[in-house]
Structure 1
Amino acid sequence: MEGFIIAILIILLLVALVGIILVKSISLFDHVYMYFFKRPIYIHLYFRLKKLTYEEEKFIKNRFSFYNRLNAKQQKFFQHRLITFMQDKSFEAREGFEITKEVKLYISATAVMLTFGMRDFLLPALQKIFVYPDIYYSTITQNHHKGEFNPRLKALVFSWKHFLEGFADEEDNINLAIHEFIHVLQINSMKESDISATIFADTSKKLVNLLLNDEIRQRLQDTKYFRKYAFTNRFEFLAVLVEYFIESPIVFKQKFPEFYSKIREMLNYNFNGY
């Protein structure tokens, strides 16, 4: 009996060892693949897909052209991620605002759109989302804001009025939701070590290095293409770049192909899909 127990333990240890070696091998191959191709080996892998109701999907279709460009299989993945993200975050209203299902869908779909080319999309750096009806006063910064991300509290804050304004005009290159979610992604890439976070962080550094190029910097100054706020600091520059990338990709690519290609690599994002 004792010999049998020892044999079982040895088998279990061997199975565990093989499992560890397999996981390490996959991780290594994943990083090698990322090094050469600048993207994860795979993005979508789910055991059971969650599905939106007819009315919920209709809401998304009416507001996200990105969703409508996806094929049927990709739309199922989008729906699954949307529901999962929405269930993972805490939504809280402020100053009499009401958190409805549509509010949760709108905010969550924005995050899913920006992370659709990434394997890890839940963004652990974010836990709470606060929504005000309009511009609000922040006791932390002691200023009025339309939106902000607080890394210490893991909290994202929006003025709903200005959130909606960002989507009202899809070609003005100003979108509060996209801008603030990129700040979440920036912080998340600094704290996490998954493949998508690594790619995001590495490419962000490459984008900053492009700014050090004398020729590119001169073109930035001459064209005055990006709004002045982009040059506040490197974090704001990246957030503004993604706003332009999402809302006017064709013009952006024509004017600054170097930045366009890096943003596309960073998000693993193809504007005709992902």
Structure 2
Amino acid sequence: MEKNLLMAAFLVAVLSLAAVAFWWFTRKRSKTEIQENIAEKDFKETWRKLLTQHVSFYNELSAPLKTQFEKRIQYFLAHVRIEGVETEVEDLDRVLVAASGVIPIFGYPEWWYPNLKSVLLYDKTLNHLGLADVEGGYVMGMVGNKALKDKVLFSKGALREGFRNDADKKNVGIHEFVHLIDMADGKADGIPEVLLQKSYTLPWMHLMHEKINDIHQGASDINPYGGSSEVEFLTVASEYFFERPMLLKKKHPKLYAKLEKIFAQQLDMQKKSSRKSKREAIGRNDPCPCGSGKKYKHCCGR
């Protein structure tokens, strides 16, 4: 009898341990925990050097935040395919794509893009694809649809230019990833509902229309492309927010405050008050690195 009881207790213990083990290995782990596990692998020193050389956002973080940023870069590169279309994908491109995706959601450790699987890089503008109708302009990046669903497309040169010159309030990488955030709720409308609290939705809409009207009246330093629609206003204003936060706060304090809430990032506390343009590396009359075929002064240098 006693032997049977001991055997039964042993079987219960084994089954309990098996159940715990099954739960542990099949449970849905949080994104933060997955990041921690990925981060156990050493962050490549070459990636760290590239971040230091090319990404001002990273350089202006404190040491603990830099570590977090590196973990997010690792997570991104472990979960998103980056493919070159008739062009080589270098480590610099991988790091800049990942940084473009991480920067807008850095204030949300648990959030991830539900509408992103891969990134395609081209060695020239995307006009030849015929996927976007842009009058007299060059397509440097876009969010794919239909056959290209869950993909983001970039001109490799334009992606690099966005980080090379971080004083012009333009960054095509950040621009397209903010589009993904906007579209994560199933529609593109300039209202990033996945990040924006409902109580802020109407004030954000009113402010958007006010600022778009200012653009149309020629009374704004915001990129005129932001006046084309609410969708583009969100992305253009976001580029301004992440590239020149102190200038945005000075010239558009209400807009800065709203974007601060949307992205959950206090850039005036986190970042330096000014940045230096690195434009001098390319002459105004040199061919534009984005591949448009135009002189730099007539393309990305505008």
Q: Establish whether TM, by shorter chain, passes 0.5.
A: yes
What are the equivalent positions in structure 2 for 1:107-122 lying under 5 Å apart? 107-122=97-112
Q: Distance in 2 between matches of 1:63 and 1:73?
A: 19
TM-score normalized with structure 1 length: 0.74
User: CA 1:250/1:226 → structure 2, altered by over 3 Å: closer, same or farther?
Assistant: same
Structure 2 residue identity aligned to 1:114? P
Q: Distance in 1 between matches of 2:247 and 2:88?
A: 38
Structure 1: runs of 5+ lacking an equivalent: 13-42
Tell me by how many angstroms 1:121 deviates: 4.1
Answer yes or no: is the 8 Å Cα contact 1:90–1:128 preserved in 2.
yes
Match of 2:154, SS state, is strand
Runs of 4+ aligned structure 1 residues displaced above 4 Å come to 43-47, 201-205, 216-220
Answer yes or no: is the 8 Å Cα contact 1:69–1:273 preserved in 2.
yes
Answer yes or no: is the 8 Å Cα contact 1:189–1:197 preserved in 2.
yes
The corresponding residue for 2:88 is 98
Structure 2: runs of 5+ lacking an equivalent: 17-30, 272-302
Answer yes or no: is the 8 Å Cα contact 1:60–1:67 preserved in 2.
yes
Answer yes or no: is the 8 Å Cα contact 1:186–1:201 preserved in 2.
no
The corresponding residue for 1:138 is 129
- Out of 47, 50, 54, the position equivalent to 1:56 is 47
User: CA 1:93/1:201 → structure 2, altered by over 3 Å: closer, same or farther?
Assistant: farther
User: CA 1:140/1:69 → structure 2, altered by over 3 Å: closer, same or farther?
Assistant: closer
- Out of 223, 226, 232, the position equivalent to 2:222 is 226
The corresponding residue for 1:65 is 56
The corresponding residue for 1:76 is 67
Q: Distance in 2 between matches of 1:157 and 1:108?
A: 13
Match of 1:148, SS state, is strand
Structure 1 residue identity aligned to 2:170? I
Match of 1:238, SS state, is helix
Q: Distance in 2 between matches of 1:267 and 1:134?
A: 31
Q: Distance in 1 between matches of 2:92 and 2:36?
A: 27
Q: Distance in 2 between matches of 1:85 and 1:76?
A: 14
The corresponding residue for 1:270 is 266
Answer yes or no: is the 8 Å Cα contact 1:151–1:187 preserved in 2.
no
Per mean C-alpha deviation after superposition, the further-off stretch among 238-247 and 248-257 is 248-257
Superposed CA offset, 1:156-197 (max 9, x none): 000011112222221111211111111011112448xxxx96
Superposed CA offset, 1:103-138 (max 9, x none): 111110121122110123431211111100111322
The corresponding residue for 2:142 is 148
User: Bigger radius of gyration, 1 or 2?
Assistant: 2
Match of 1:244, SS state, is helix
Higher helix share: 1
Tell me by how many angstroms 1:238 deviates: 0.4
Q: Distance in 1 between matches of 2:232 and 2:213?
A: 19
Match of 1:200, SS state, is coil
Superposed CA offset, 1:47-96 (max 9, x none): 433441222111111111221222222222111110111111111211x2
Number of positions where the alignment pairs a residue of Structure 1 with one of Structure 2: 239
User: CA 1:91/1:211 → structure 2, altered by over 3 Å: closer, same or farther?
Assistant: closer
Superposed CA offset, 1:188-238 (max 9, x none): 2448xxxx963337456542222345xx66655352221221111111000
State percent identity of aligned pairs: 22
Tell me by how many angstroms 1:101 deviates: 2.4
Asked if 1:198 is matched to 2:188, the reply is no
Match of 1:114, SS state, is helix
Q: Distance in 1 between matches of 2:213 and 2:230?
A: 17
